[in-house]
Amino acid sequence: MSSPHLGVVGLGVMGRNLALNARDAGVTVAGTDLGQDAVDGFAQEGGEAVTATTDLDAFLAALPTPRNILVMVPAGKAVDAVLGSLAPKLAPGDLVIDGGNSHFPDTQRRHDEMAARGLNFFGMGVSGGEDGARHGPSMMPGGPKEVYARVAPILEGMAAEVDGEPCVAHLGAGASGHYVKMVHNGIEYGLMQLLAEAYDLLKRGAGLGNDRMGDLFAEWNDGELRSYLVEITAHILRQPDVVAVAPDETPGHEGPPEGMAGRYLLNFIKDTAKQKGTGKWTSQDALDLGVPTPTIDAAVTARYVSALKDERVAASSLLGEPAGRAPGDPEELVAAVGDALLAAFLVTYAQGFALLKRASDAYEYGLDLGTVAKIWRGGCIIRADLLETFREAFDADPELPNLLVAPPVAEALIGHRGALRRAVVLGAQAGIPTPCLSTALAYLDAYRSEWLPANLVAAQRDYFGAHTFARIDQDGMHHAQWEPAGL
């Protein structure tokens, strides 16, 4: 068995930081990149403890066998290009880990192709951004379990820790690692949009300024909502715009929009948000598997709507701007938003974990959802105190169909769903869009409804297409001879 070592292909921001993280953990590290500047920068920062080269053969020669190689290049064709260059030069038993945001069907294909060559392949989700990569990310590897023991000490030394437990574990077979990371990102989309809607309700609905909103988010982060995204939202709200200048110092410029002070950076950021596609992938596969994830779906759609800036400006002139302010005492809305966020957060996580459960069965991943919750507690973007509650719930009942029926989650929802309803109602009365808060409420109401009006949908399908329906008083499927319309 060779000494702990890691080769890193791709020395961009994430690759370089992960390589330096491994070096700090006592791992022998070699890095390669097509760009000389990237190699030189890594060599300078890594010092004599690392090997840095643009020569792939020299890179491979620097690694003892069986080799452990982490590929950190953009998802898509670049990964295939790297694997095409590497595979002919590798020896049986070597391990290649794709640490990018690859789509899970691509990962499964690559896994099978590498296995046919006698090579091991992992798809590994990495979450935590630049800082996490350098100081401790959450990592989600999936692939052949027997080889994981070889790299476990390396990855555990690099990962974030919570209560002495590393935020990395072997998750399952095939493309399971990248699937879990995809769902992580789908949940991330949902949580981010929920926070944006809370900000909108407080800003337009209650008329609060950035300082008060920053205080509220900081206060919530000291309680049940403690999480990375709530924490950074408080910081973002208070961030001054250090490059902003007064209107009279800007020739030919009329200054910021009415009501916007030049003090806060957030007030000068254009209201459009981009995406890289992982949220969309989550929604697409959820639809394929028949798993409802409406809050994640609404978050993806909200980003598409945000991109229609010119159309929205034109429509506001034609259709009229919403009133903006919620009726009644603004403090009623302020009081509701924090509890509404907690309820909606619980619902969003529940949708994501329900998708993981179904996918694990459909794709034979063998996921342990308690382990997923454990490694998401630190390092990753969706880390939150709530994840310990989820871990305990799955450890207590590995077959739990949905987190909403886990006793501690159900208790929290019963106590906070009224606030979620008030926030959605007050937002609707003010004309403020709350797509994720609204779908979280609708999902919760639907999931806890003993009866739903789907009997009418079933009847309609049978009426126009003879698709049959189930009866509550008889077994089997049935078709009715419906009276023609108009009689």
Query: Tell me, which fold does domain 5-170 have in CATH?
Result: Rossmann fold (3.40.50)
Domain 187-447 sits in CATH at 1.10.1040.10
What does each C-alpha distance from 275 to 272, 335, 359 come to in angstroms? 10, 32, 23
Element (H, E) at 289: helix 278-289
What does each C-alpha distance from 161 to 157, 188, 366 come to in angstroms? 9, 20, 24
Q: Which 3 state secondary structure label does DSSP give 57?
A: helix
Nearest to 360 by CA among 285, 284, 444, 277: 285
Residue 251: count of CB within 10 angstroms of its CB: 5
Q: Which 3 state secondary structure label does DSSP give 55?
A: coil
pLDDT tens-digit profile of 97-140? Answer: 999 999 999 999 999 999 999 999 999 999 999 999 999 999 99
Nearest to 150 by CA among 66, 87, 70: 66
Q: Which 3 state secondary structure label does DSSP give 313?
A: helix
Give the domain ranges of the chain.
5-170, 187-447, 453-487
Confirm whether 331 is a catalytic residue: no
Contact call for residues 124 and 178 (beta carbons, < 8 A): yes
Copy the structure tokens of residue 34. 């097509």
Q: For residue 172, what is the DSSP state?
A: -
User: Residue 486: its pLDDT value, please?
Assistant: 60
User: Residue 405: its pLDDT value, please?
Assistant: 97
Q: Report the C-alpha gap between 407 and 268 in whole angstroms.
A: 44
User: Residue 263: its pLDDT value, please?
Assistant: 85
Catalytic residue among 145, 156, 181, 321: 181
pLDDT tens-digit profile of 370-428? Answer: 999 999 999 999 999 999 999 999 999 999 999 999 999 999 999 999 999 999 999 99
Overall pTM surpassing 0.95 (yes/no):
no
Mean pLDDT in consecutive groups of 10 residues from the start of the chain, 487 residues:
84 96 95 95 90 96 95 95 96 96 96 95 95 96 95 96 97 97 97 98 96 97 97 96 56 44 84 88 98 98 96 92 86 96 98 98 97 97 97 96 97 97 96 97 98 96 96 96 78
Q: Which 3 state secondary structure label does DSSP give 312?
A: helix
CB-count burial class (<10 Å; 0-12, 13-18, 19+) for 383: buried
Q: Report the C-alpha gap between 405 and 94 in whole angstroms.
A: 44
Contact call for residues 381 and 128 (beta carbons, < 8 A): yes
Catalytic residue among 188, 197, 224, 231: 188
Q: Thinking of the domain 453-487, which architecture would CATH place it in? A: Up-down Bundle (1.20)
User: Residue 274: its pLDDT value, please?
Assistant: 86
User: Residue 243: its pLDDT value, please?
Assistant: 67
Q: Is there a shared CATH topology between the 5-170 domain and the 187-447 domain?
A: no
What does each C-alpha distance from 360 to 102, 168, 171, 340, 375 come to in angstroms? 18, 18, 10, 30, 17
Nearest to 166 by CA among 354, 315, 21: 21
User: Residue 487: its pLDDT value, please?
Assistant: 54
User: Residue 251: its pLDDT value, please?
Assistant: 39
Residue type, 127: S
Confirm whether 274 is a catalytic residue: no
